[in-house]
A = this chain, B = another copy of it.
Amino acid sequence: MAQQPTTLADAISGAEWIMDGHGPRNVQVLKEALEQVDVSQASDMYGRGEVIERFERKMAELLGKESAVFFPSGTMAQQIALRIWCDRRDLPKVAYHPLSHLELHEQDGLKKLHHITPLLLADKDRLITLEDIKALQEDISCLLLELPQREIGGQLPPFGELEAISAYCRENGIRLHLDGARLLEILPYYEKTAAEVCALFDSVYVSFYKGIGGVAGAILAGDKDFTQEAVVWKRRHGGDLISLYPYIISADYYYEKYGGRMARYYEYAKELAALYNGCEAVKTLPEVPVSNMFHVHIAHPKEQVEPLLIELTEETGVAIAYYVNAYDDQTSSYEVSLGERFGTIPKDKLAATFQRLNEKLKALGRG
Protein backbone atom coordinates (compact mmCIF):
# COMPACT_ATOMS: atom_id res chain seq x y z
CA MET A 1 0.00 0.00 0.00
CA ALA A 2 1.10 3.54 -0.76
CA GLN A 3 2.25 5.63 2.15
CA GLN A 4 -0.20 8.22 3.39
CA PRO A 5 0.63 11.65 2.03
CA THR A 6 1.84 13.87 4.81
CA THR A 7 1.63 17.26 3.10
CA LEU A 8 -0.99 19.14 1.17
CA ALA A 9 1.44 19.29 -1.76
CA ASP A 10 1.62 15.48 -1.78
CA ALA A 11 -2.14 15.19 -1.75
CA ILE A 12 -2.51 17.75 -4.55
CA SER A 13 0.00 15.92 -6.73
CA GLY A 14 -2.29 12.89 -6.57
CA ALA A 15 -5.51 14.83 -7.16
CA GLU A 16 -7.55 14.44 -10.32
CA TRP A 17 -8.95 17.99 -10.27
CA ILE A 18 -7.40 21.22 -9.10
CA MET A 19 -9.50 24.29 -8.51
CA ASP A 20 -7.02 27.10 -9.13
CA GLY A 21 -5.62 28.62 -12.28
CA HIS A 22 -5.30 27.39 -15.82
CA GLY A 23 -2.95 24.44 -15.34
CA PRO A 24 0.44 23.48 -13.94
CA ARG A 25 3.26 26.04 -14.14
CA ASN A 26 5.63 23.91 -16.16
CA VAL A 27 7.76 24.08 -19.29
CA GLN A 28 4.75 23.20 -21.45
CA VAL A 29 3.36 26.70 -20.77
CA LEU A 30 6.30 28.18 -22.66
CA LYS A 31 6.41 25.48 -25.32
CA GLU A 32 2.75 25.90 -26.18
CA ALA A 33 3.25 29.65 -26.62
CA LEU A 34 6.20 29.06 -28.94
CA GLU A 35 4.45 26.50 -31.11
CA GLN A 36 2.84 28.95 -33.50
CA VAL A 37 5.85 31.28 -33.69
CA ASP A 38 8.07 31.40 -36.77
CA VAL A 39 11.41 30.18 -35.41
CA SER A 40 13.28 32.61 -37.63
CA GLN A 41 11.62 35.52 -35.85
CA ALA A 42 14.45 37.72 -34.55
CA SER A 43 15.01 38.25 -30.84
CA ASP A 44 14.36 41.65 -29.38
CA MET A 45 17.67 43.38 -28.64
CA TYR A 46 17.85 45.46 -25.46
CA GLY A 47 14.29 46.75 -25.72
CA ARG A 48 14.22 47.15 -29.50
CA GLY A 49 12.93 45.04 -32.34
CA GLU A 50 9.60 44.00 -33.73
CA VAL A 51 8.68 41.37 -31.14
CA ILE A 52 8.86 43.81 -28.22
CA GLU A 53 7.77 47.01 -29.98
CA ARG A 54 4.68 45.42 -31.50
CA PHE A 55 3.52 44.05 -28.15
CA GLU A 56 4.22 47.36 -26.40
CA ARG A 57 2.08 49.18 -28.99
CA LYS A 58 -0.69 46.62 -28.62
CA MET A 59 -0.74 47.02 -24.84
CA ALA A 60 -0.57 50.82 -25.01
CA GLU A 61 -3.66 50.69 -27.19
CA LEU A 62 -5.46 48.27 -24.87
CA LEU A 63 -4.73 50.48 -21.87
CA GLY A 64 -5.50 53.72 -23.69
CA LYS A 65 -2.06 55.14 -23.00
CA GLU A 66 0.40 56.83 -25.31
CA SER A 67 3.17 54.35 -24.72
CA ALA A 68 4.02 51.10 -22.94
CA VAL A 69 7.23 49.34 -21.89
CA PHE A 70 7.66 45.63 -21.29
CA PHE A 71 9.40 44.75 -18.00
CA PRO A 72 10.63 41.43 -16.64
CA SER A 73 8.69 42.05 -13.42
CA GLY A 74 6.06 44.21 -11.81
CA THR A 75 8.33 44.78 -8.83
CA MET A 76 10.73 46.59 -11.14
CA ALA A 77 8.04 48.40 -13.10
CA GLN A 78 6.24 49.80 -10.08
CA GLN A 79 9.29 51.00 -8.16
CA ILE A 80 10.33 52.81 -11.30
CA ALA A 81 6.91 54.38 -11.81
CA LEU A 82 6.93 55.73 -8.27
CA ARG A 83 10.51 56.94 -8.66
CA ILE A 84 9.67 58.90 -11.78
CA TRP A 85 6.69 60.60 -10.18
CA CYS A 86 8.72 61.40 -7.06
CA ASP A 87 11.55 62.87 -9.15
CA ARG A 88 9.10 65.05 -11.05
CA ARG A 89 7.97 66.70 -7.84
CA ASP A 90 11.31 66.37 -6.11
CA LEU A 91 9.40 64.81 -3.23
CA PRO A 92 10.30 61.20 -2.37
CA LYS A 93 7.00 60.37 -0.73
CA VAL A 94 4.16 58.16 -1.92
CA ALA A 95 1.11 56.53 -0.37
CA TYR A 96 -0.32 53.06 -0.70
CA HIS A 97 -2.22 50.36 1.18
CA PRO A 98 -0.46 48.69 4.17
CA LEU A 99 -0.76 45.34 2.38
CA SER A 100 0.61 46.60 -0.93
CA HIS A 101 2.98 44.31 -2.84
CA LEU A 102 5.69 46.95 -2.37
CA GLU A 103 5.29 46.77 1.39
CA LEU A 104 5.04 42.99 1.75
CA HIS A 105 6.91 41.26 -1.04
CA GLU A 106 9.77 43.40 -2.31
CA GLN A 107 12.30 43.38 0.52
CA ASP A 108 11.84 47.15 0.80
CA GLY A 109 13.31 47.79 -2.65
CA LEU A 110 11.48 51.12 -2.86
CA LYS A 111 13.15 52.31 0.32
CA LYS A 112 16.55 50.66 -0.12
CA LEU A 113 17.07 51.47 -3.81
CA HIS A 114 15.00 54.60 -4.31
CA HIS A 115 14.91 56.14 -0.83
CA ILE A 116 11.21 56.77 -1.18
CA THR A 117 9.06 56.90 1.97
CA PRO A 118 5.64 55.29 1.70
CA LEU A 119 2.75 56.49 3.82
CA LEU A 120 0.42 53.59 4.58
CA LEU A 121 -3.21 54.48 3.98
CA ALA A 122 -6.30 52.83 5.49
CA ASP A 123 -6.44 49.90 7.91
CA LYS A 124 -5.00 46.61 6.83
CA ASP A 125 -8.39 44.99 6.49
CA ARG A 126 -10.19 47.51 4.32
CA LEU A 127 -9.85 49.47 1.08
CA ILE A 128 -8.39 52.95 0.76
CA THR A 129 -11.15 55.58 0.55
CA LEU A 130 -11.20 59.15 -0.67
CA GLU A 131 -11.48 60.20 2.96
CA ASP A 132 -8.16 58.49 3.77
CA ILE A 133 -6.47 60.49 1.04
CA LYS A 134 -8.03 63.76 2.11
CA ALA A 135 -6.91 63.07 5.67
CA LEU A 136 -3.24 62.77 4.69
CA GLN A 137 -1.14 65.06 6.85
CA GLU A 138 1.78 65.15 4.42
CA ASP A 139 2.14 65.98 0.77
CA ILE A 140 2.89 63.06 -1.57
CA SER A 141 4.05 62.73 -5.16
CA CYS A 142 2.03 59.68 -6.01
CA LEU A 143 -0.77 57.50 -4.75
CA LEU A 144 -0.69 53.84 -5.72
CA LEU A 145 -3.99 51.99 -5.86
CA GLU A 146 -4.08 48.23 -6.27
CA LEU A 147 -7.17 46.94 -8.08
CA PRO A 148 -8.30 44.50 -6.84
CA GLN A 149 -6.69 44.76 -3.38
CA ARG A 150 -5.22 41.28 -3.43
CA GLU A 151 -4.24 40.72 0.20
CA ILE A 152 -7.78 41.39 1.43
CA GLY A 153 -9.32 38.90 -0.95
CA GLY A 154 -9.32 41.04 -4.06
CA GLN A 155 -11.77 43.76 -3.02
CA LEU A 156 -12.69 46.73 -5.22
CA PRO A 157 -14.04 50.20 -4.49
CA PRO A 158 -17.13 51.35 -6.40
CA PHE A 159 -16.13 52.89 -9.72
CA GLY A 160 -17.59 56.21 -8.63
CA GLU A 161 -15.19 56.33 -5.72
CA LEU A 162 -12.28 55.67 -8.08
CA GLU A 163 -13.42 58.58 -10.21
CA ALA A 164 -13.61 60.83 -7.15
CA ILE A 165 -10.13 59.76 -6.00
CA SER A 166 -8.75 60.41 -9.48
CA ALA A 167 -10.32 63.87 -9.63
CA TYR A 168 -9.03 64.73 -6.16
CA CYS A 169 -5.50 63.62 -7.03
CA ARG A 170 -5.48 65.68 -10.24
CA GLU A 171 -6.71 68.76 -8.41
CA ASN A 172 -3.98 68.32 -5.83
CA GLY A 173 -1.02 67.51 -8.06
CA ILE A 174 -0.84 63.90 -6.87
CA ARG A 175 -0.01 61.37 -9.56
CA LEU A 176 -2.19 58.28 -9.50
CA HIS A 177 -0.55 54.93 -10.31
CA LEU A 178 -2.51 51.73 -10.89
CA ASP A 179 -1.17 48.45 -9.59
CA GLY A 180 -3.22 46.60 -12.16
CA ALA A 181 -1.46 43.26 -11.82
CA ARG A 182 -4.98 41.84 -12.16
CA LEU A 183 -6.51 44.59 -14.29
CA LEU A 184 -8.24 42.40 -16.86
CA GLU A 185 -9.71 40.33 -14.05
CA ILE A 186 -11.76 43.27 -12.70
CA LEU A 187 -13.23 44.57 -15.95
CA PRO A 188 -16.33 42.30 -15.90
CA TYR A 189 -17.34 43.60 -12.45
CA TYR A 190 -16.83 47.25 -13.37
CA GLU A 191 -18.32 46.65 -16.83
CA LYS A 192 -15.61 48.94 -18.19
CA THR A 193 -12.87 48.59 -20.77
CA ALA A 194 -9.25 48.55 -19.64
CA ALA A 195 -8.81 51.99 -21.19
CA GLU A 196 -11.80 53.37 -19.26
CA VAL A 197 -10.28 52.24 -15.97
CA CYS A 198 -6.77 53.38 -16.92
CA ALA A 199 -8.01 56.83 -17.97
CA LEU A 200 -8.30 57.60 -14.24
CA PHE A 201 -4.59 56.89 -13.72
CA ASP A 202 -1.37 58.56 -14.82
CA SER A 203 0.52 55.28 -15.01
CA VAL A 204 -0.51 51.66 -15.08
CA TYR A 205 1.18 48.31 -14.46
CA VAL A 206 -0.29 45.03 -15.71
CA SER A 207 1.03 41.51 -15.05
CA PHE A 208 1.04 38.61 -17.50
CA TYR A 209 1.37 35.59 -15.26
CA LYS A 210 -1.63 35.95 -13.00
CA GLY A 211 -5.09 35.65 -14.58
CA ILE A 212 -3.48 35.78 -18.01
CA GLY A 213 -1.34 32.74 -17.25
CA GLY A 214 1.92 33.66 -19.02
CA VAL A 215 5.45 32.78 -17.89
CA ALA A 216 6.44 36.14 -16.37
CA GLY A 217 6.62 39.79 -17.32
CA ALA A 218 4.77 43.06 -17.00
CA ILE A 219 3.77 46.18 -18.88
CA LEU A 220 4.15 49.73 -17.60
CA ALA A 221 2.17 52.32 -19.52
CA GLY A 222 1.70 56.08 -19.51
CA ASP A 223 2.65 59.18 -21.45
CA LYS A 224 5.60 58.99 -23.80
CA ASP A 225 7.87 61.13 -21.61
CA PHE A 226 7.04 58.88 -18.65
CA THR A 227 7.87 55.64 -20.49
CA GLN A 228 11.06 57.14 -21.92
CA GLU A 229 12.27 57.74 -18.38
CA ALA A 230 11.08 54.27 -17.42
CA VAL A 231 13.29 52.74 -20.11
CA VAL A 232 16.35 54.45 -18.60
CA TRP A 233 15.49 53.17 -15.13
CA LYS A 234 14.84 49.70 -16.55
CA ARG A 235 18.44 49.69 -17.77
CA ARG A 236 19.65 50.88 -14.36
CA HIS A 237 17.74 48.11 -12.59
CA GLY A 238 19.29 45.49 -14.85
CA GLY A 239 15.94 44.77 -16.49
CA ASP A 240 16.84 45.80 -20.04
CA LEU A 241 17.77 42.26 -21.05
CA ILE A 242 19.23 41.49 -24.44
CA SER A 243 16.24 39.17 -24.98
CA LEU A 244 12.88 39.35 -23.25
CA TYR A 245 11.08 37.49 -26.03
CA PRO A 246 10.39 34.28 -24.04
CA TYR A 247 8.17 36.37 -21.77
CA ILE A 248 6.78 38.64 -24.47
CA ILE A 249 5.73 35.83 -26.78
CA SER A 250 4.06 33.94 -23.96
CA ALA A 251 2.43 37.11 -22.59
CA ASP A 252 0.92 37.83 -25.98
CA TYR A 253 -0.13 34.24 -26.56
CA TYR A 254 -1.92 33.85 -23.21
CA TYR A 255 -3.38 37.34 -23.37
CA GLU A 256 -5.06 36.24 -26.60
CA LYS A 257 -6.01 32.86 -25.17
CA TYR A 258 -7.36 33.79 -21.73
CA GLY A 259 -7.58 37.61 -21.66
CA GLY A 260 -11.10 37.59 -23.10
CA ARG A 261 -12.42 34.97 -20.66
CA MET A 262 -12.27 36.94 -17.43
CA ALA A 263 -16.07 37.23 -17.24
CA ARG A 264 -16.25 33.45 -17.13
CA TYR A 265 -13.65 33.23 -14.35
CA TYR A 266 -15.55 35.92 -12.42
CA GLU A 267 -18.70 33.77 -12.65
CA TYR A 268 -16.69 30.74 -11.48
CA ALA A 269 -15.50 32.73 -8.45
CA LYS A 270 -19.04 33.70 -7.46
CA GLU A 271 -20.20 30.10 -7.86
CA LEU A 272 -17.34 28.72 -5.80
CA ALA A 273 -17.60 31.37 -3.09
CA ALA A 274 -21.28 30.46 -2.65
CA LEU A 275 -20.28 26.80 -2.15
CA TYR A 276 -17.74 27.83 0.48
CA ASN A 277 -20.17 30.13 2.27
CA GLY A 278 -22.61 27.24 2.53
CA CYS A 279 -20.14 25.38 4.75
CA GLU A 280 -19.97 25.63 8.50
CA ALA A 281 -17.27 27.89 9.91
CA VAL A 282 -16.33 29.22 6.47
CA LYS A 283 -16.64 32.67 5.00
CA THR A 284 -15.14 34.14 1.90
CA LEU A 285 -13.62 37.59 1.54
CA PRO A 286 -15.30 39.27 -0.21
CA GLU A 287 -18.51 37.36 0.43
CA VAL A 288 -19.44 37.87 -3.22
CA PRO A 289 -16.26 38.06 -5.30
CA VAL A 290 -15.70 40.99 -7.67
CA SER A 291 -13.09 39.27 -9.81
CA ASN A 292 -11.74 35.74 -10.38
CA MET A 293 -10.24 35.66 -6.87
CA PHE A 294 -11.23 35.64 -3.22
CA HIS A 295 -9.89 34.51 0.13
CA VAL A 296 -11.28 31.65 2.21
CA HIS A 297 -11.36 32.04 6.00
CA ILE A 298 -12.06 28.98 8.12
CA ALA A 299 -12.73 29.44 11.83
CA HIS A 300 -10.39 26.65 12.92
CA PRO A 301 -6.63 26.70 13.49
CA LYS A 302 -4.29 25.77 10.67
CA GLU A 303 -3.16 22.66 12.56
CA GLN A 304 -6.69 21.28 12.20
CA VAL A 305 -7.59 22.61 8.78
CA GLU A 306 -4.50 21.37 6.97
CA PRO A 307 -5.01 17.65 7.74
CA LEU A 308 -8.70 18.09 6.96
CA LEU A 309 -7.87 19.44 3.51
CA ILE A 310 -5.37 16.64 2.90
CA GLU A 311 -8.05 14.07 3.73
CA LEU A 312 -10.62 15.86 1.60
CA THR A 313 -8.27 15.91 -1.37
CA GLU A 314 -7.48 12.22 -1.02
CA GLU A 315 -11.11 11.20 -0.58
CA THR A 316 -12.58 13.27 -3.38
CA GLY A 317 -9.69 13.64 -5.82
CA VAL A 318 -10.40 17.37 -5.84
CA ALA A 319 -7.77 19.79 -4.53
CA ILE A 320 -9.55 22.89 -3.29
CA ALA A 321 -6.49 24.62 -1.79
CA TYR A 322 -2.76 24.82 -2.54
CA TYR A 323 -1.74 25.84 0.95
CA VAL A 324 -3.18 27.00 4.27
CA ASN A 325 -2.01 30.00 6.28
CA ALA A 326 -2.61 30.66 9.95
CA TYR A 327 -4.66 33.85 9.61
CA ASP A 328 -4.57 34.03 13.40
CA ASP A 329 -4.48 31.48 16.23
CA GLN A 330 -8.08 30.50 15.65
CA THR A 331 -8.49 31.00 11.91
CA SER A 332 -7.01 29.54 8.75
CA SER A 333 -7.02 31.18 5.35
CA TYR A 334 -5.98 30.73 1.77
CA GLU A 335 -6.40 32.40 -1.59
CA VAL A 336 -8.40 31.10 -4.52
CA SER A 337 -7.78 32.38 -8.04
CA LEU A 338 -9.81 30.85 -10.83
CA GLY A 339 -9.11 30.13 -14.47
CA GLU A 340 -9.69 27.37 -16.99
CA ARG A 341 -9.38 24.48 -14.57
CA PHE A 342 -12.51 25.22 -12.59
CA GLY A 343 -14.71 24.67 -15.63
CA THR A 344 -13.34 21.15 -16.11
CA ILE A 345 -14.53 19.87 -12.73
CA PRO A 346 -17.84 17.95 -13.07
CA LYS A 347 -20.65 19.73 -11.22
CA ASP A 348 -21.63 16.64 -9.23
CA LYS A 349 -18.01 16.17 -8.19
CA LEU A 350 -17.89 19.77 -7.05
CA ALA A 351 -21.13 19.46 -5.07
CA ALA A 352 -19.97 16.21 -3.45
CA THR A 353 -16.63 17.76 -2.51
CA PHE A 354 -18.26 20.68 -0.74
CA GLN A 355 -20.79 18.42 0.95
CA ARG A 356 -17.87 16.39 2.29
CA LEU A 357 -16.01 19.55 3.32
CA ASN A 358 -19.08 20.70 5.23
CA GLU A 359 -19.41 17.34 7.01
CA LYS A 360 -15.78 17.43 8.02
CA LEU A 361 -16.03 20.98 9.30
CA LYS A 362 -19.16 20.11 11.25
CA ALA A 363 -17.34 17.16 12.80
CA LEU A 364 -14.45 19.46 13.66
CA GLY A 365 -16.88 21.94 15.22
CA ARG A 366 -18.31 19.21 17.42
CA GLY A 367 -14.71 18.53 18.51
Contacts and interface: CB of A to CB of B under 8 A. Distances in A.
Interface string A37-66: 111111101000000000000000000000
B109 A238 contact: yes
A4 interface: no
A246 B43 CA distance: 14
Interface stretch (A25-33, A144-152, A259-267, A268-276): A25-33
Interface stretch (A69-77, A187-195, A291-299): A69-77
Copies in the complex: 2
A42 B24 contact: yes
A364 interface: no
Contacts of A25: 42-43, 45, 242-243
Interface string A200-232: 000000000100000110000000000000001
Contact of A246 (B30, B107, B238): B30
A198 interface: no
Contacts of A347: none
B34 A236 contact: no
Nearest to A28: B39
Contacts of A216: 241-244
Contacts of A108: 236
Contact of A235 (B42, B107, B244): B107
B39 A235 contact: no
A185 interface: no
Contacts of A237: 75-76, 109, 113, 237-239
Contact of A38 (B27, B43, B74, B76): B27
A141 interface: no
A105 B240 CA distance: 11
A168 interface: no
Given A26-B41, A246-B247, A239 B236 contact: no
A240 B239 CA distance: 11
Interface of A: 24-31, 34, 37-43, 45, 71-77, 79, 105-109, 112-114, 209, 215-216, 232-233, 235-247, 249
6 contacts: A27-B40, A73-B241, A77-B238, A106-B235, A113-B236, A237-B239
Given A28-B40, A113-B113, 20 more contacts: A24-B42, A26-B40, A26-B43, A27-B39, A27-B41, A27-B43, A27-B245, A30-B34, A31-B34, A43-B215, A72-B72, A73-B238, A73-B239, A73-B240, A106-B235, A106-B238, A107-B233, A107-B235, A109-B236, A113-B237
